[in-house]
Amino acid sequence: MAVSEEECSSTKSRSASNNGARYLAKCVLRGSVVLQVVHGHFRSPTSNDIVFGKETSLELVIIGEDGIVQSVCEQAVFGTIKDLAVLHWKERFHYQNPQMQGRDLLVAVSDSGKLSLLRFCNEMHRFFPVTHVQLSSPGNLRNQLGRMLAIDSNSHISKFGDGNGERLEGDFLVSMERSWSCSYQFAFMNHGCFIATSAYEDRLAMFSISMATSSDIIDKRIFYPSEIEGDSGIARSVHRTSIDGTVWSMCFISKDLTQPSRGYNPVLAIILNRRGAVLTELVLLEWAIIENTVRAISQYAESGHLAHSIVEVPHSYGFAFMFRIGDALLMDLRDAHNPCCVYRTSFDILPTSVEQNFVEESCRVHDGDEDGIFNVAASALLELKDYVAKGDDPMNIDSDSGIVKSSSKHVYALSWEPGNEKNSRMMFCVDTGELFMIEISFDSDGPRVNLSDCLYRGLSCKALLWVAGGFLAALVEMGDGMVLQLEQGRLVHRSPIQNIAPILDMAVVDCHDEEHDQMFACCGVTPEGSLRIIRSGISLEKLLRTAPIYQGITGIWTIKMKVSDSYHSFLVLSFVEETRVLSVGLSFTDVTDSVGFQPDVSTLACGIVDDGLLVQIHRNGVKLCLPTTVAHPDGIPLSCPICTSWFPENISISLGAVGYNSIVVATSSPCFIYILGVRSVSAYQYEIYEMQHVRLQNEVSCISIPHKHFDKKPSFFLNNLVGNSCAAALLIGVNIGRIFVIGTHKPSVEILSFLPDEGLRILASGAISLTNTLGTAVSGCIPQDVRLVLVDRFYVLSGLRNGMLLRFELPAASMVFSSELSSHSPSVSSCSVNDADNTLSNMMVPNSIGPQMCAINISEETNINSPVNLQLIAIRRIGITPVFLVPLSDSLEADIIALSDRPWLLQSARHSLSYTSISFQPSTHVTPVSSIECPMGILFVAENSLHLVEMVHSKRLNVQKFFLGGTPRKVLYHSESRLLLVMRTELNQDTYSSDICCVDPLSGSLLSSFKLELGETGKSMELVRVVNEQVLVVGTSLSSGPAMMPSGEAESTKGRLIVLCLEHMQNSDSGSMTFCSKAGLSSQRTSPFREIVGYAAEQLSGSSLCSSPDDTSCDGVRLEESEAWQLRLAYTTTWPGMVLSICPYLDRYFLASAGNSFYVCGFPNDNPQRVRRFSVGRTRFMIISLTAHFTRIAVGDCRDGVVFYSYHEDSKKLEQLYCDPEQRLVADCILMDVDTAVVSDRKGSIAVLSCSNHFEDNASPECNLTLKCSYYMGEIAMSIKKGSFSYKLPADDILKGCDGSNAIIDFSENSIMASTLLGSIIMFIAISREEHELLEAVQARLVVHPLTAPILGNDHNEFRSRESPVRKAGVPKILDGDMLAQFLELTNMQQEAVLALPLGSLEKVTSSSKQALPSPISVNRVVQLLERIHYALN
**What confidence tens digit (pLDDT) does each residue in 975-1006 have?**
888 899 999 999 988 899 999 999 988 888 89
**What three-state secondary structure class fits 395?**
helix
Mean pLDDT for 1152-1172 is 94
**1298, 1429, 1434 from 954: Cα distances, Å:** 21, 12, 6
| H-run or E-run covering 1146 | none
Identify the pLDDT of residue 857: 34
Contact 1066, 853 (CB under 8 A): no
Tens digit of each residue's pLDDT (9 = 90 or more) over 418-473: 987 778 899 999 988 999 999 998 887 778 899 999 999 998 999 999 998 899 99
**Among 774-778, 891-895, 1047-1051, 1292-1296, where is mean pLDDT lowest?**
1292-1296
The pLDDT of residue 957: 77
> What's at 583, amino acid-wise?
S
> What pLDDT is stored for residue 1227 in this prediction?
94
HEC secondary structure over 1090-1140: HCEECCCCCCCCCCCCCCCCCCCCCCCEECCCCCCEEEEEEEEEEECCCEE
Whole-model pTM?
A: 0.79
**pLDDT given at position 502:** 94
SS3 805: strand
DSSP secondary structure string for all residues of 137-164: -SS--TTSS-SEEEEESSS---SSS---
Can you tell me whether residue 999 is helix, strand or coil? Answer: strand
Specify whether the CB–CB gap between 179 and 171 falls below 8 A. Answer: no
Residue 708 pLDDT level (bands cut at 50, 70, 90): low
Which amino acid would we find at residue 277?
Answer: A
Rounded distance between C-alpha atoms, residue 1108 and residue 1105, angstroms: 8
One-character DSSP codes across 830-848: ------TT-EE-S------
Question: Which pLDDT does position 750 carry in this prediction?
Answer: 94
667-697, pLDDT tens digit by residue? 988 899 999 999 998 888 999 999 999 998 8
Q: Provide the pLDDT for residue 1082.
A: 33
Element (H, E) at 1407: helix 1407-1412
Question: Do 268 and 258 meet the contact criterion of CB atoms below 8 Å apart?
Answer: no
Are 1247 and 1270 contacting, i.e. CB atoms less than 8 angstroms apart? yes
Please give the pLDDT value at position 488.
86
Q: What angle do helix axes 1388-1395 and 1329-1342 make, rounded to 10 degrees?
A: 100
Per-residue pLDDT, 357: 42
Rank 320-324, 362-366, 736-740 by mean pLDDT and report only the highest: 320-324
Of 960, 203, 954, the C-alpha closest to 523 is 960
CA–CA gap between residue 1337 and residue 1418 (Å, rounded): 12
Query: What pLDDT sits at residue 1238?
Result: 95
Question: What is the pLDDT at residue 715?
Answer: 38
Residue 1306 above 60 pLDDT? no
Q: Give buried/exposed letters for 359-380 (b at 16+ CB in 10 A, else e).
A: eeeebeebbbbbbbbbbbebeb
CA distance 334 to 548: 47
pLDDT: which is higher, 721 or 478: 478
pLDDT at 259: 60
pLDDT at residue 173 in the model: 27
Q: What pLDDT is stored for residue 960 in this prediction? A: 87
Q: Is the pLDDT of residue 1364 over 80?
A: no
Distance between CA atoms of 1379 and 1386, rounded to whole angstroms? Answer: 12
- Burial class for 1069, CB neighbours closer than 10 Å (0-12, 13-18, 19+): exposed
pLDDT in tens, 1200-1223: 899 999 999 999 999 999 999 888
Give the pLDDT band of residue 354 (cuts 50, 70, 90). very low
Decide: residue 354, CB within 10 A, 0-12 exposed, 13-18 middle, 19+ buried.
Answer: exposed
**Whose CA is closest to 487, among 503, 464, 475, 471?**
471
Residue 1073 clears pLDDT 50, i.e. is over it: no
Supply the DSSP symbol for 932: S
Give the mean pLDDT of 78-106.
Answer: 79
HSE at residue 273, side-chain half, CA atoms within 13 A, is 19
Q: How confident is the model at residue 1030 (pLDDT cuts 50, 70, 90)?
A: very high
- For 1131, counting Cβ atoms within 10 Å of its Cβ (0-12 exposed, 13-18 middle, 19+ buried), the class is middle
> How large is the average pLDDT for residues 745-756?
90
Burial class (CB in 10 A: 0-12, 13-18, 19+), 1416: exposed
* Residue 218 dihedral angles phi and psi, to the nearest 5°: -90, 115
Instruction: State residue 66's pLDDT score.
Output: 83
Band (476; pLDDT cuts 50, 70, 90): very high
Helical (H) or strand (E) element with 459 = none
Task: Give the C-alpha separation, 1163 to 963, whole Å.
Answer: 36
Query: Do residues 149 and 107 touch, judged by C-beta distance below 8 A?
Result: yes
> Three-class SS of residue 1338?
helix
pLDDT in tens, 920-934: 888 999 999 999 888
**pLDDT score of 723:** 40
Mean pLDDT of the region 298-324: 90
State pLDDT tens for residues 814-853.
Answer: 444 443 333 333 333 333 333 433 334 333 333 332 333 3
Provide, rounded to the nearest whole percent, the portion of the chain with pLDDT above 70.
73
Distance CA 1277, CA 1241 (A): 7
Q: Which of 714, 378, 736, 336 is CA-nearest to residue 524?
A: 378
Within 13 Å, how many C-alpha atoms sit on residue 90's CB side?
22
Q: What percent of the chain has pLDDT over 90?
A: 48
Q: Residue 426 pairs with which residues in a beta bridge?
A: 416, 438
Residue 1433 has pLDDT above 90, yes or no: no
Q: Which of 864, 860, 871, 825 is nearest to 844 (CA)?
A: 864
- Look over the chain and give the mean of its residue pLDDT values, rounded to a whole number: 78
Task: Give residue 305's pLDDT band: very low, low, confident or very high (50, 70, 90).
Answer: confident
Residue 352 or 233, more confident: 352
Query: Which residues contact residue 1177 at a Cβ distance below 8 angstroms, ignoring those fewer than 6 apart?
Result: 1157, 1158, 1159, 1195, 1205, 1214, 1216
Strands 839-840 and 148-152: unpaired
Closest CA to 778 of 750, 807, 806: 806
